[in-house]
Amino acid sequence: MLPAWSTRGEVATVSAVGWPEHVTREWAWGGSTGRGVRVCVVDSGVDGDHPLVAPLEGSVAVAIGGGEPTVEKDEAGDVAGHGTACASVIRSLAPECELFSVRVLGPGGIGKGNAFVAGVRWAVEQGFDVVNLSLSTPYPEFEVLLHELADSAYFQRTIIVASAHNMPVQSYPWRFSSVISVGSHANTGELTFFYNPTPPVEFFARGVDVEVASAQGGSLRLTGNSFATPHVSAVCALILGKHPQLTPFQLKSLLYLTADNVAA
């Protein structure tokens, strides 16, 4: 008798992606605009009318009442500016991707861990192609739940791109191997990113003095891993726009092969 996790018949034939002998950025995402790729920003909300972000395909908010968190239509938009800033980075690099927003943070960028988990769960259940998490929680009671969600996303081909904490503390979900974890570098190249051979942070992207959309309608410059993360989310959108059949494993491998310190 076969073990539970065994094939009971002929193994399904899988069509090869057809990778070239030498993978280049041109092959990986050259000519792509992210068209057709659904990207979800789980954050403080997104101002869908901001010229550096529009259009926004949809937005919801997690409400914390007396019982369990509920997901409902977002009427407030961005209440802290953080989500709009992150979304603008994605829009600038993947201009034709479909942007969605899940608001889990309140004014001042402060939120509850159970709202964060509920927002991530909703995004995973909707089957978005890429989920940008420029936030994390340090509370260990949410570690298992977020780990299960990260694994579920990985198995269903949803890419979670998660920001490393700006401080040297334990937080989640960026420490999970099923997500793409991102820290910052000070290089000014928008598409310059580096692979880190000594995880848990896997990639470093531009995160210092980044021009982003301002909640007041213009732009400003900010620094932090929060703003490095959408650079990588945008690259993922570009890649999936050109190679939509890639699995998370293949996409992460492609990021590795096209990182500036590996490709060279």
pTM: 0.95
Instruction: Give the tens place of pLDDT for each residue, 2-57.
Output: 787 777 767 666 666 689 999 999 999 999 999 999 999 999 999 999 999 999 99
User: How far is it, in rounded angstroms, from Cα 47 to Cα 171?
Assistant: 27
Instruction: Give the tens place of pLDDT for each residue, 180-231.
Output: 999 999 999 999 999 999 999 999 999 999 999 998 889 999 999 999 999 9
User: How far is it, in rounded angstroms, from Cα 161 to Cα 178?
Assistant: 10
Q: How far is CA 235 from the centre of its chain?
A: 10
Give bridge partners of residue 194 from the DSSP assignment.
204
**Helix (H), strand (E) counts: the chain:** 7, 11
Q: Where are the domains of the chain?
A: 31-263
Domain at 31-263: CATH code: 3.40.50.200
User: How far is it, in rounded angstroms, from Cα 24 to Cα 157?
Assistant: 23
